[in-house]
Structure 1
Amino acid sequence: MAKQLVILGGGESGVGAAVLAKHKGYEVLVSDGGSLKEVYRNELDAAGIEWEQGAHSVDRILEADEVVKSPGIPEKNELIKQIRKKGIPVISEIELAYRYKGDSKIVAITGSNGKTTTTSLIYHILNTGGLNTALVGNIGESFARQVALDPKPVYVVEVSSFQLDDIITFRPDIAVLTNITEDHLDRYDYNFENYIRSKFRIIENQKKGDYFIYNMDDEVTMRYIDQFKINSNQLPISMAHENNGAFIKDGEMYVRTGDDFMSMSVYDFTLKGKHNQYNTMAGSLAGTTMEIRKEKIREAVQTFQNLEHRMEHVATIRGVEFINDSKATNINSTWYALESMDKPTILVLGGVDKGNDYSLLMDMVKEKVKAIVCLGLDNQKIHAAFDGVVPVIVDTASAQEAVTAAFSYSEKGDVVLLSPGCASFDLFKNYEDRGTQFKKAVIDL
């Protein structure tokens, strides 16, 4: 009899998992407590996969041989508690995909900040170097759907801590940990250490021939790294120490793996800002370990295009530049965005707070920000932090209002930066929707 697989959550990762499971002969049910997008309903119908929305058939779910859990569902969810109590194995979509990836290689990237940029850069480097590669995970298509419908010899996978929470055998050939800062603490019982342990799970199944790329300038990573058994080859990146991975010294990036060596001026990177020099080091190292030629890595680093919603230049209107950094959903991302500003800044901030500590931004705000435009339903914490520090703080409840207000406080030579530091689902569908509405409002000015 076919194995019964229940997939909780019918978003991109859930539907991708369903398609792969169906391909592999499982009896599949997709169950979503909310509503499924029409595009996903059509895809499931076309594949002959059973689905339900708006409620869960609990008795049936508790009969499953295995459950694939969407990364968005927390452990404290009642249904998950019942599934755990019954001893039914719970896995993530990346674990299911890993089972069926065959001989393909995996480069997996996690971290609190910079992971999407680093993932996209590694994909660009491997493609430029001639490898047939898929970009999957939190970015683009689900890993499972790609394995089912269009398998590739190499997968570059962006993975979140939530996905790593439910792995068993998932093992990347190359694991990249960009950095660890406080994020999503609401999901980890407000215990930072739980979140750190989740991030380090990316290396727990690695073997001798695998690689682990990490940032040796990141305080949290270095404080905890010795607590984990690491079997893979460790390749650090740094701006402060020469090492056997990659480092930057006097404006030159040096990448070393074994006897091989390449160097390149940081002024040739298309990605600007100090944080992006770390991302570029990580990407170049990953390329070297995948045996991409130095000239190709150099070419890729010089031709990489930045992502939509990540420090994206929208327009310059009457001398005021507008930047869309809607992907900044935590305080550290906003800190990095402000760090790279070299003009007086009107900061658009706010949304759904994940336990943010705004004091981390204080020095940057004092130095660079002339006005804060709040874009969220509850802005009390932002006012509490910055009232009296910044001359102007206003509340707005739509992208259009925020853009109009920001423009009215700006003058020629200023920059309006949307870098909210918060999740978006109080006023928007997701960070992409927030960024798209912001860009539309700028163009409509």
Structure 2
Amino acid sequence: MEKSRIVILGAGESGYGAAMLAQKQGFEVFVSDSGRIADTYKEKLNALAIPFEEGQHTNELITNAIEVIKSPGIPNKAPIVAAIKQANIPVISEIEFAKRYTKARTICITGSNGKTTTSTLIYHLLKKAGINASLAGNIGKSFAAQVAEDQFDWYVLEISSFMLDNMYEFKADIAVLLNITPDHLDRYDYKMANYAASKMRITQNQTDADYFVYCADDTETMKILQTMKLQARQFPFSILHHVEQGAWLEDDLIHININSKEQFSMSIAALALQGKHNIYNSMASGIVAKVLDIRNATIREGMGDIKNIEHRLEFVAKISGVTYINDSKATNVNSTWYALESVSSGVVLIMGGVDKGNDYEMLKDLVKSKVKAIVCLGKNNKRIHEAFEDDVEMIVNTFSAEEAVQVAYHLAKKGDTVLLSPACASFDLFTSYEDRGIQFKKAVKEL
């Protein structure tokens, strides 16, 4: 009998993982990438004798599949995706595919900002509690690859809106929505409502046995929640007001009550991850931990000793009294707002890159009060100049991480902070936000 054929679009981490799992499940597999496939993934595909193509998508090799697993980075409007849909072939995400082959339960975290930090913190708390868990999704090793090779009871999955767009049967046992702020609007017809609806797919298929954790202070979340009837048990978190069940802030203490036998409380001064945004991330993580009945002492210990994530408000060095911070993961305006909100004034801000239709208006007040100079790092910095020329004394254009750091070094004085928080994607000058962050750190170390 001929095997059913599955085609995978995109040969990055998720694509390779999906190919490996599909082959293990007995499908005939073909991988197609319109760009160049990294040598590491080529070697892995060759080792499994999985055929692939790069630099193109050949329609006839793709539109004969029973199902296509698409990388989240490929827009639904791409011509090849249109051709697949025309052929009535279902297009799904790697997460949707992998979930079919595991009985493990899932904690799924989405939101415009804070996903990586919160996912990492939840995973950290689960490991501390001795729960057999793994971390996957938008972070680390692919979910599909782990399902193919390992056995876990729980998966903590960082999930982007692009992944959610191609998830249909999938269900989160615990869904966490941190916030909804303008990001990737180019993929959603520049309509906030479309983007918000995409984020709310994190709750799809949930029953009254499941949990939904969300931020009661987030305007867009509250707006769309009013239009929906959810089955799951809901636990909000807020730093602005008291909530009956969920998490709230009072007298600089985080309180969590989910109707358990014991409430949880912890001073925000004892959190390893500081800044207002991290109070939210810690609250969301704490609610999940309480849902899983993790002991208060374990939660406190975990929240107090987690290390900060690379490229997310990461301290790099202090040189001649100037602090250098790598926040390369800030690929949208809201992330940069959080970064500026968490540092004191006297900031030399390095920003720029591929602008995804950014609205810089929300940064203006913080830039006015805290930023002394902006160092642009990108090929086209026109919109940054237009947005902030009246708010800062100096805006300088640079075209490499090394040049940006050199310029910032000369502009900063003792007590200042040089903050790389780009508010833009990295693909004009770098291969990824990680590459941008690594080059920034290297340049700082060479000062």
Distance 1:292 1:3 in 2: 43
Q: In the alignment, which of 397, 400, 415 is matched to residue 399 of structure 2?
A: 397
**What is the aligned residue count?**
444
CA deviation vs aligned residue, 1:160-214 (integer Å, no higher than 9, x gap): 0000000111111100000000000011111111111110001011111110000
Residue in 2 aligned with 1:231? 231
Q: Which residues of 2 match residues 354-365 of structure 1 at below 5 A?
A: 354-365=356-367
Residue in 2 aligned with 1:197? 197
Distance 2:432 2:101 in 1: 30
Distance 1:376 1:51 in 2: 33
Residue in 1 aligned with 2:419? 417
- Residue 46 of structure 1 and its aligned partner are, at CA, apart by 1.1
Q: Which residues of 2 match residues 215-226 of structure 1 at below 5 A?
A: 215-226=215-226
Residue in 2 aligned with 1:162? 162
Q: TM-score of the superposition, structure 2-length normalised?
A: 0.98
Distance 1:151 1:174 in 2: 19
Q: Which residues of 2 match residues 27-42 of structure 1 at below 5 A?
A: 27-42=28-43
- Residue 151 of structure 1 and its aligned partner are, at CA, apart by 2.5
Distance 2:57 2:240 in 1: 53
- Residue 146 of structure 1 and its aligned partner are, at CA, apart by 0.8
C-alpha contact (below 8 Å) 1:343/1:413 kept by paired residues: no
- Residue 257 of structure 1 and its aligned partner are, at CA, apart by 1.2
CA deviation vs aligned residue, 1:24-45 (integer Å, no higher than 9, x gap): 1111000111111111011111
CA deviation vs aligned residue, 1:405-427 (integer Å, no higher than 9, x gap): 00101110001000000000000
RMSD of aligned residue pairs (Cα, Å): 0.8
Distance 2:313 2:61 in 1: 46
Question: Match for 1:404: what amino acid?
Answer: Q
Residue in 1 aligned with 2:48? 47
Residue in 2 aligned with 1:440? 442
Distance 1:258 1:49 in 2: 51
- Residue 264 of structure 1 and its aligned partner are, at CA, apart by 1.1
Distance 2:58 2:314 in 1: 44
Distance 1:3 1:237 in 2: 46
Q: Which residues of 2 match residues 329-368 of structure 1 at below 5 A?
A: 329-368=331-370
C-alpha contact (below 8 Å) 2:59/2:83 kept by paired residues: no
Residue in 1 aligned with 2:3? 2
Q: In the alignment, which of 408, 412, 421 is matched to residue 406 of structure 1?
A: 408
Distance 2:88 2:229 in 1: 28
Residue in 2 aligned with 1:146? 146
Q: Which residues of 2 match residues 250-329 of structure 1 at below 5 A?
A: 250-260=251-261, 261-329=263-331
Question: Match for 2:90: what amino acid?
Answer: P
Distance 1:407 1:259 in 2: 52
User: Which 10-residue stretch deviates more, 53-62 or 246-255?
Assistant: 53-62
Residue in 1 aligned with 2:83? 82
C-alpha contact (below 8 Å) 1:237/1:247 kept by paired residues: yes
CA deviation vs aligned residue, 1:251-302 (integer Å, no higher than 9, x gap): 1111111233111111111111111000000001111111211111111001
Give the secondary structure class of the aligned counterpart of 1:227.
Answer: coil
Where do 5+ consecutive residues of structure 2 fail to align?
none
Residue in 1 aligned with 2:176? 176
Distance 1:99 1:321 in 2: 47
C-alpha contact (below 8 Å) 1:204/1:229 kept by paired residues: no
Question: Match for 1:176: what amino acid?
Answer: V
* 2:62 aligned with 1:61: yes
- Residue 370 of structure 1 and its aligned partner are, at CA, apart by 0.3
C-alpha contact (below 8 Å) 2:313/2:326 kept by paired residues: yes
C-alpha contact (below 8 Å) 1:69/1:90 kept by paired residues: yes
Distance 2:349 2:17 in 1: 37
- Residue 379 of structure 1 and its aligned partner are, at CA, apart by 0.3
Give the secondary structure class of the aligned counterpart of 2:330.
Answer: coil
Question: Match for 2:174: what amino acid?
Answer: I
Distance 1:178 1:70 in 2: 23
Residue in 2 aligned with 1:211? 211
CA deviation vs aligned residue, 1:387-440 (integer Å, no higher than 9, x gap): 132001100000000000001011100010000000000000000000000000
C-alpha contact (below 8 Å) 2:3/2:27 kept by paired residues: yes
C-alpha contact (below 8 Å) 2:9/2:69 kept by paired residues: yes
Residue in 2 aligned with 1:107? 107
User: Which 10-residue stretch deviates more, 48-57 or 298-307?
Assistant: 48-57
Task: Using the aligned pairs only, state the percent identity.
Answer: 53
Q: TM-score of the superposition, structure 1-length normalised?
A: 0.99
Distance 1:374 1:313 in 2: 20
Residue in 1 aligned with 2:383? 381
Question: Match for 2:163: what amino acid?
Answer: Q
Distance 1:61 1:353 in 2: 32
Where do 5+ consecutive residues of structure 1 fail to align?
none
- Residue 334 of structure 1 and its aligned partner are, at CA, apart by 0.2
Distance 1:112 1:306 in 2: 19
- Residue 241 of structure 1 and its aligned partner are, at CA, apart by 2.1
- Residue 57 of structure 1 and its aligned partner are, at CA, apart by 2.2
Question: Match for 1:148: what amino acid?
Answer: A
C-alpha contact (below 8 Å) 2:216/2:236 kept by paired residues: yes
Give the secondary structure class of the aligned counterpart of 2:376.
Answer: strand
Question: Match for 2:309: what amino acid?
Answer: L
